[in-house]
Chains A and B, each alone.
Chain A
Amino acid sequence: MMHPIPKIHPAREIDIIGYETIMLDSGIPCFGFNGVPYDIINIDFCFDSGRWTETKPLTASFYSKMFKTGTEKANAEQLSENIDFWGGTIKINQGYNSITISVYSILRNLEPVLQILQEIFLESKFEQDKLDFKKEKSINRLNINNRKTEFLADEAFKKMIFGENHPYGYTTKKEDIENINRNDVVDYFKNNICSNNLKVYVSGKYDNAVIKMIDKYFPLSVFSNPVDTAFKYQSQPAANKKFHLTIPQAEQASLIIGKELEVPRDATFYDFSVLNTILGGYFGSRLMKNIREDKGYTYGIHSEIMNYKHSSVWCISTEVGLEYIELCKEEIYKEILRLKNEKIDNQELDRVRNYLMGKMLRYFDGPFNTKNVYKTFWNTNREIEHLTYLINSIKTVTSKRLLELANSFFNEESFYEVLVD
């Protein structure tokens, strides 16, 4: 005989863990997240830039590719040799609105790693032959990506939503890669890697000595050019809301359906994120349960909200068997219609509330996760107080409210649809 099934306890309150504001001599804002058992440290230098502040397509990407290709003192190989010798990692990550340079190190070797990073900032040469190789490699990469239905669908979708002239919408083109020259990279570096658009995040195990090192190696005078990060692009959505591309070698189709979310990031936005979870935001979602677990048309189907600094986009995406494309679309629209016509019952809504609260515990599980939460919120123009909106929506949004939202957002005429097969 089985024991009684354990009672499920409701979600507990989330402790929103704060950060330490660190005063750097340089005046650069610095945020600290302390407390791991190992002597490890991560420092992120986060520049408010990315694609948004480019004056020519792909320059942010090529600055990133050229980042560690050599300084006055050391070529690419020596740089890499020096960083690796100390067991460190220096990574650069280019986003739509940011360039993030991340340092990972064990505490005792941090200083030499920071010294190398300083050298990269101050003395990079951006040599022509390195650039030529990076361009050649990118074209090669593009040729491979252009055989992937998933890549083509994603590019086409963003282009339809934002337009070809928008930093979130432009596609990677061979001509644009060919047109990049050395000056573009140097200019991008000079105008974007500046102290007045920089936030520093220190996480892991750190002490005063670490903070002193940051001050020592990143004085204000190093980067001081102003950068214009103001809002300047408007979306230019495509007139034709359907896009269909056929590639000869496809054995499966990539399908994306979605739209730009034109709502302020207030309570409405977070209420919608609960609705999105119910539709396709977790393994137990309606799309997964129906289209994967009941019909077997796909390995995975998801709906998500992609947050950019100046916009949010909602979309459903899936890789679907060629023979199931129409059936799959039919079921997607059925599920959307259900959300518009029927109130979500309490059992399902409670489940999603608990699932989301459980997932949110992860946000503040250790300093690295906590740091990422703050970084994500700030990078998308939101204050951490928004987290209380989110928690509030998760706990209190009603099925009546979700029905209203479904009716105001899920207007099929406003959807963009991309199919690559």
Chain B
Amino acid sequence: MIEFSKAIFKNGLTLIHHQDNKTPYVLVNILYKVGAKHESPEKTGFAHLFEHLMFGGTKHFADFDIPLQEAGASNNAFTNNDVTNYYEWLPAHNAELAFCMEADRMINLKINKKSLDVQKSVVIEEFKEHYINKPYGDVWHIIREMVYEKHPYRWPTIGMSLEHIKQAQLEDVKAFYENFYTPDNAILVVAGNIDWDTCYSYTEKWFGSIEKHTNYTPSIPKEPIQEQQKRKVVYRDVPQKMLYIVFKMPGKGSPVFAVADLLSDILSMGESSLLHKEFIEERKIAYDLEVYLSSSVDIGLFVVEVKLKDEVIPEEAEKLLFESIQKAKALITPRVLDKVKNKSLTSLYFSENELMSRGVGLAFSELMGNAGDVNKEEEKIMSVTKEQIVDFIDSYLTVEKSNVLHYLKNI
């Protein structure tokens, strides 16, 4: 049970506090409700590029990292399609510094041409490192664009292309900051060795005077229901062929999310999983096989990824996969279901033992509507039934609703 307290300030800032006196640290984590999905299709990669600029210094701190390092802190951030999340991890006696600095960069960020130019270049190298200079690096660019027709999940967080990063302008950056970096668009989670009164008074002191300002959230286009299978074949200079079958599914807040999560384990977690047994052990047509979810707030992805052996014809493996997913419905015995539930519970306990996952878990649960839901994970896992899983397969994992990618070796 993760205990917490919550307050909403006049300017709309949400504060969530969780105390743990066993650790010598305090985690100050601020989540902004802005991610790649809020970008315009002509200017993708912007939320992530902006995250880099948030380290460029503020009115009162010429360098954002130096004072934190002096205080013995570690700090970092990440951006995904839904949110941008910043955190400081400090020795408890220096906790106030992080409140002061996060508040300053919410209102007083310094944005200049030099810092923009340098960070554009850094992000271009990051793009190359992860998405170009690696075999299969572009696979998510291809899949997202194929699967999503309208929803801005069409592009990955890093951006659709290097060109978009190169074209980012100072005015765009300033407008983005004005619009999205506002107290009412943020969730502040403070966890660790700090009590509620101290935490509340620091928040009031540093964030209290920041005014709520206009916050325009672009309306996100609704993704149409897919009625027909989509297919794509690409050839690249890679040593081995891959097969991806991707289905759209409801987002994290949906009750079927836990159902899909357990199904993905039934299909591919460990050597006793259904698809592993069939494709690797029995038919010996794959080196590896994984089933996973994209875990997004809006309409998400249920992904089957297979590393095929050379001699295997992708169309045949694909046909087998669809059949196996249907066959799975009859193979979900109570023991199989208990197995994946037990496994999920153990990882839940190990993960909740970490302060960082408790903190980020609270922030995400609050984003989804209620921080308290962080404590419902166990119940959600335990209540999944076989009927729900069968129903999920029938509703979402059909041939018509599938997106198939054959990622093949150059001929």
Seen from chain A, the residues whose Cβ lies within 8 Å of a Cβ on chain B are: 2-3, 5-6, 8-9, 11-12, 35-40, 68, 76-81, 83-89, 104-106, 109, 133, 136-137, 140, 143-144, 146-149, 249-252, 282-284, 292-299, 319-321, 350-352, 354-355, 357-359, 361-362, 365-366, 368
Contact = CB atoms under 8 A, between A and B. Distances in A.
A106 B349 contact: yes
B281 A77 contact: yes
Interface of B: 22-25, 60, 65-67, 69-76, 90-91, 93-94, 96-97, 100, 104, 117-126, 128-129, 132-135, 205-206, 237-240, 269-272, 277, 280-281, 284, 287-288, 307, 335, 338-340, 342-346, 349-350, 352-353
Contacts of A89: 346
A173 B387 CA distance: 49
A252 B129 contact: yes
Given A2-B60, A147-B135, A296-B117, A251 B128 contact: yes
A99 B205 CA distance: 52
A140 B287 contact: yes
B69 A299 contact: no
B343 A87 contact: yes
Contacts of A282: 69
B66 A284 contact: yes
A146 B91 CA distance: 43
Contacts, number: 190
Nearest to A106: B346
A138 to B, nearest CB: 10
29 contacts: A3-B205, A3-B206, A5-B67, A8-B67, A9-B94, A12-B91, A76-B281, A77-B271, A81-B339, A84-B270, A84-B272, A84-B340, A85-B338, A104-B346, A109-B342, A137-B287, A147-B238, A147-B239, A283-B76, A292-B122, A296-B117, A296-B119, A299-B125, A319-B125, A352-B69, A355-B70, A358-B91, A365-B23, A366-B22
A39 B348 CA distance: 12
Contact of A6 (B65, B100, B128, B240): B100
A146 B69 CA distance: 38
A154 to B, nearest CB: 14
A87 B129 contact: no
Given A2-B60, A80-B271, A294-B118, A284 B69 contact: yes
B349 A39 contact: yes
Contacts of B349: 38-40, 106
B118 A296 contact: yes
A36 B287 CA distance: 38
A354 B72 contact: yes
A331 to B, nearest CB: 14
Contact of A358 (B74, B100, B270): B74
Most buried by A among B74, B104, B120: B74
A81 B60 CA distance: 57
A147 B236 CA distance: 12
A358 B71 contact: yes
A357 B93 CA distance: 13
Nearest to B281: A77
Nearest to B352: A38
7 closest residue pairs by CB, A with B = A358-B72, A296-B121, A87-B342, A81-B272, A143-B239, A299-B126, A80-B271
A83 B288 CA distance: 20
Contacts of B352: 38
A361 B69 contact: no
A77 B281 CA distance: 9
Given A143-B240, A319-B133, A361-B72, 10 more contacts: A5-B67, A8-B97, A11-B91, A38-B350, A81-B271, A81-B272, A109-B342, A137-B288, A354-B71, A368-B353
A321 B124 contact: yes
